[in-house]
Amino acid sequence: MIRTALLFAVLMLPAHPQTAVQTAPERLIGFPGFNGFPLKGSVKAGGAHPYFAVMVAGSGPTDRDWSNPLIPTPSHGGRDLAAWLQGQGIGSLRYDKRFIGSKDPKLDISLDAQVGDIKAALKAARALPEAKRKKLLLVGHSEGALLSLLAGGEADAVLLLALPGMSMGKLIRAQVKAQLNAANAPADFSAQNLGYLDEVLEAIRENRDLPAAAAGVAPGITTLARGLARPESRGFVRDLLDLDPWGTAQRLTVPCAVVWGDRDVQTWKPEVLPPEFKGAVIPIPEANHLFKRETRDRAGLSGATAATTYGDGTPLADLSPLAGWLKDLK
């Protein structure tokens, strides 16, 4: 349904050394989402940890396992992370976004609907036997982290994985600029393509038709523009384009941590964080966007080359810094 919400959707155990994460038993459930829309999820039981997690996937056609048909190799990073959380004593509910598997162009996939689904998942989790007498930890990944900021008041703590460090509009532009730089594109070519992208984003903001692309605009940019402006998802993109993650984070009144992989080329830790942000900031060494191990130098990675380590054959990075925060979470 949504092929592009962020550019990376188009391109795209806790100790060293690690072996592949073992999939522990889980059960399938259904629950009503926003306006009663039926959602499907998977539940893993936890242990002694006082929290139970609700996991929100990232952008595009990414399912509850964080499997995405646009990733070139089989990849189930969300399922792997749920197994890792289970190893920390934390059970979890992860669910498919409402448009996964749907071909209905009239399906409500607005920002209100998707944030409403997160709130519904939190409500469903509170009724699960696996979460009995547990607090709820809302775990959002990438775009899911941004959406989780809007629903964080319904949880007891919030964990933001690979949070976009700037508004969606600025991030899309930064991602495109980085890829043009990585390709050693001529300055005039980069300026023309970034200029066209700016026009596209402004047209979406103002709900106008997309501008015509000049002959020198790269096909990938026009494909991105069409993806962002799809009729069924345009309202969602427009509402998210200028959302300030840090201003939204300041309104959280529950414990919060932001985690970035230092080899992530899709959403990365800003050079300067707002001083008013009081949450924990946890960098993960040698970790990519899915927190899989990435030993290559970040400067040499593009969206396409980075995706080669997103698959199931790559183990999780060393998540010990995150394990420490979770251990202290009361």
Alpha helices (H) in the chain, listed in sequence order: 8-11, 77-87, 111-126, 143-151, 168-182, 187-205, 219-228, 234-241, 245-249, 303-306, 320-328
Q: Which of 246, 290, 325 is nearest to 88 (CA)?
A: 325
pTM: 0.90
Q: What is the mean pLDDT of residues 126-145?
A: 98
Per-residue pLDDT, averaged over 33-45, amounts to 98
How close are the terminal C-alpha atoms of the chain, in Å?
Answer: 39
**pLDDT bucket at 303, cuts 50 / 70 / 90:** confident
Tens of pLDDT, residue by residue over 168-224, are 999 999 999 998 998 899 999 999 999 999 999 999 999 999 999 999 999 999 999
pLDDT score recorded for residue 72: 85
From CA 30, how far away is CA 39, in angstroms rounded?
6
Is the predicted pLDDT of residue 312 greater than 70, yes or no? yes
Percentage above 90 pLDDT, the chain: 86
Q: What share of the chain is helix, strand, coil (3-state, %, to 5)?
A: 40, 15, 45
Tell me the residue type at 189. F
Instruction: Name residue, tokens 């200029």.
Output: 195
Question: Considering the chain, what is the average pLDDT of its residues?
Answer: 91
Domains in the chain, ordered, with CATH?
A: 8-166+243-328 (3.40.50.1820), 169-235 (no CATH)
pLDDT, one tens digit per residue, over 238-289 is: 999 999 999 999 999 999 999 999 999 999 999 999 999 999 999 999 999 9
Instruction: Give burial (CB, 10 Å; 0-12/13-18/19+) of 231.
Output: exposed
**Which among 1, 3, 232, 227 has a CA at the least distance from the CA of 101?**
1
DSSP letter (8 states) at residue 127: T
Q: With 0-12 CB in 10 A as exposed, 13-18 as middle and 19+ as buried, what is 107?
A: middle
Tokens, residue 149? 């900021």
Mean pLDDT of 290-294: 98
Q: Is residue 157 scored above 70 in pLDDT?
A: yes
Q: Is 85 exposed, middle or buried (0-12, 13-18, 19+ CB in 10 A)?
A: buried
Classify each residue of 164-199 as buried b or exposed e, where b means 16 or more C-beta atoms within 10 Å of its C-beta.
Answer: bbbbbbebbbbbbebbbebeebeeeebebbbebbeb
Q: What is the pLDDT of residue 8?
A: 37
**Residue indicated by tokens 């460090």:** 165
Q: For the CA atoms of the chain, what is the radius of gyration?
A: 19
Pairwise CA distance, residues 247 & 196, whole Å: 28
**Are β-strands 256-261 and 157-161 bridged in parallel, bridged antiparallel, or unpaired?**
parallel
Question: Could you tell me what percent of the chain has a pLDDT over 70?
Answer: 93
